[in-house]
Amino acid sequence: MATNCSASTMAFPSYSRLRPAPALHKRLLLAAWLSALLLGGGSSAAGLGVSPHEGSIPPSSYRRFLLSNGLGRTPQMGWNSWNHFQCNINETLIKQTADAIVSSGLAALGYQYVNLDDCWAELNRDSQGNMVPKAATFPSGIKALADYVHGKGLKLGVYSDAGTRTCSQTMPGSLGHEEGDARTFASWGVDYLKYDNCENTGTSPKKRYPVMSKALLNSGRPIFFSLCEWGQEDPATWAPSIGNSWRTTGDIQDNWNSMISNADQNDRWASYAGPGAWNDPDMLEVGNGGMTTEEYRSHFSIWALVKAPLLIGCDVRSIDKVTLGLLANKEVISVNQDKLGVQGKKVKKYGDLEVWAGPLTASRVAVVLWNRGSSRATITAYWTDIGLKPWTVVDARDLWAHRTLLSVHRQISAMVDTHACKMYILTPRIR
Ligand SMILES: *[C@@H]1O[C@H](CO)[C@@H](O)[C@H](O)[C@H]1NC(C)=O
């Protein structure tokens, strides 16, 4: 890590920088945008310095290149069993978790998916080739669990694999059984599939993931499709028409270095995300104990800003006040769920001091001042770096202090503790 905060300035002058070379998918999006513009349909997040399809592609044109299940218009929110429990799951735990998501108030804030990760099924299929819930841990079956979760107003997710076995090696993968598995999931009332990539027989995910995508579309039930091939074949360039989200990184671990590394790898692909199709830097570790409160605040703030899935990964049955204070911050969640759906990016970096920003609806801008260094420091975001005209006057809402600074000119600065961040929504005043 760099140590001199004032000397080296890597400039990221606009949202259009730091992006991989255009892929076919992207050129199609651009073409759609241009034709829509010529036909008079262009609308805008204009003036924010974002590239066309990030801010102003008309939804109807954009949607043609997306998986047509209508899901994920904003990033998915919910809970997943893996980060805290790994294979130690059972139906009692999942029901108690659903109860806790409601009683803690998290459900009312938008956390709706209750997702089983690996290890919920028996190693062997039944004589008809169907997956079978593990008798020892899910004796009532997945349909009964889905009914319970639905009864709480929540949705149920399951996990499978694009290969022959899941990563735990204790469950069958869906390879060769995609249609049957999709029908089974639909008949159980499953709302979400996380699809992993272990034991994949060497075939490219570009070949295997579309098979399940199609099977889910034909299953008769809208099922959110979450691709997980760990970013290995640059899924941002091919997955938007196949899934609702795709992992851009390997598995997150509950520590600072893993978290910032995933944030940076995910940032490369910002321009490919949009409503219905999101980059996924992996699930939240907030509340699992491996980072400080300020590190978890940074983790949650950045995930919200970059329109990452907000999937809680701790034990919500015993969630503490501090953790709940982070995950239940309505104002931060509102940035993640903003209808414009533009992924915020790292726009400026002074050594370990970083400015991340992205446009929101109503010409607003979300900004995170992030201190990744080891000492307290002042960080400044200049309007020209975050897509505002230099003369713009804004009201700045501090999303963690819940205070508004009125009439802020040209820049916003704050003293930020080590590994901490400040997060704002800037609202231009009418001139
Ligand atoms: C269910 O899983 C939880 C979490 O791993 C564990 O504490 C509990 O003992 C398990 N219950 C049963 C009945 O296996």
In the prediction, which pLDDT does 431 show? 54
Instruction: Report the separation in Å between the CA atom of 131 and the middle of ligand 1, taken as the mean of its atom positions.
Output: 22
Backbone angles phi, psi at 222, to 5 degrees: -70, 115
Q: Which residues are catalytically annotated?
A: 196, 251
* Residue carrying the six token digits 């730091």: 18
CA atoms within 13 A on the CB side of 23: 14
Instruction: Report the separation in Å between the CA atom of 365 and the middle of ligand 1, taken as the mean of its atom positions.
Output: 44
In the prediction, which pLDDT does 67 show? 85
DSSP characters over 301-326:
HHHHHTT--EEE-S-GGG--HHHHHH
Distances (CA, A) of 176 to 117, 125, 211, 268: 21, 13, 9, 33
421/368 Cα distance (integer angstroms) = 7
In the prediction, which pLDDT does 66 show? 81
24/180 Cα distance (integer angstroms) = 32
DSSP characters over 167-189:
TTSSSB--TT-HHHHHHHHHHHT
Instruction: Report the separation in Å between the CA atom of 88 and the middle of ligand 1, taken as the mean of its atom positions.
Output: 7
DSSP characters over 345-409:
EEEEEETTEEEEEEE-STT-EEEEEEE-SSS-EEEEEEGGGTT--TT-EEEEEETTTTEEEEEEE
Locate the ligand 1 atom nearest the alpha carbon of residue 89 and give its number: 2
Ligand 1 is surrounded, with C-beta below 6 A, by 85, 88, 90, 92-93
Backbone angles phi, psi at 133, to 5 degrees: -60, 145
Q: What is the pTM of this model?
A: 0.88
Candidate from 81, 85, 90, 140 with most ligand 1 atoms within 8 A of CB, to mutate? 90
Which stretches of 218-360 are DSSP H helices?
A: 256-267, 293-305, 321-327, 330-336
Per-residue pLDDT of the chain (431 residues; tens, 9 = 90+): 333 333 233 333 333 333 333 343 444 444 444 333 333 333 333 333 333 334 444 444 444 578 889 999 999 999 999 999 999 999 999 999 999 999 999 999 999 999 999 999 999 999 999 999 999 999 999 999 999 999 999 999 999 999 999 999 999 999 999 999 999 999 999 999 999 999 988 899 999 999 999 999 999 999 999 999 999 999 999 999 999 999 999 999 999 999 999 999 999 999 999 999 999 999 999 999 999 999 999 999 999 999 999 999 999 999 999 999 999 999 999 999 999 999 999 999 999 999 999 999 999 999 999 999 999 999 999 999 999 999 999 999 999 999 999 999 999 999 999 999 999 999 999 65
Give me 277's structure tokens.
Answer: 């199709």
180/363 Cα distance (integer angstroms) = 46
- Identify the sign of the CA torsion 276, 310, 250, 146: negative
Nearest to 77, CA basis, from 367, 335, 298, 373: 335
Instruction: Report the separation in Å between the CA atom of 89 and the middle of ligand 1, taken as the mean of its atom positions.
Output: 6
- CA torsion 42→363→328→285, rounded to 10°? 70
Locate the ligand 1 atom nearest the alpha carbon of residue 88 and give its number: 5
Nearest to 266, CA basis, from 230, 215, 315, 316: 230
40 within 8 A of 34, measured Cβ to Cβ: no
406/324 Cα distance (integer angstroms) = 29
Locate the ligand 1 atom nearest the alpha carbon of residue 315 and give its number: 4
Three-class secondary structure of residue 155 per DSSP: strand
In the prediction, which pLDDT does 51 show? 37
In the prediction, which pLDDT does 381 show? 98
Contacts of 406-413 with CB under 8 Å at 24 or more apart are 410/382, 410/383, 411/380, 411/381, 411/382, 411/383, 412/367, 412/369, 412/380, 412/381, 413/378, 413/379, 413/380, 413/381
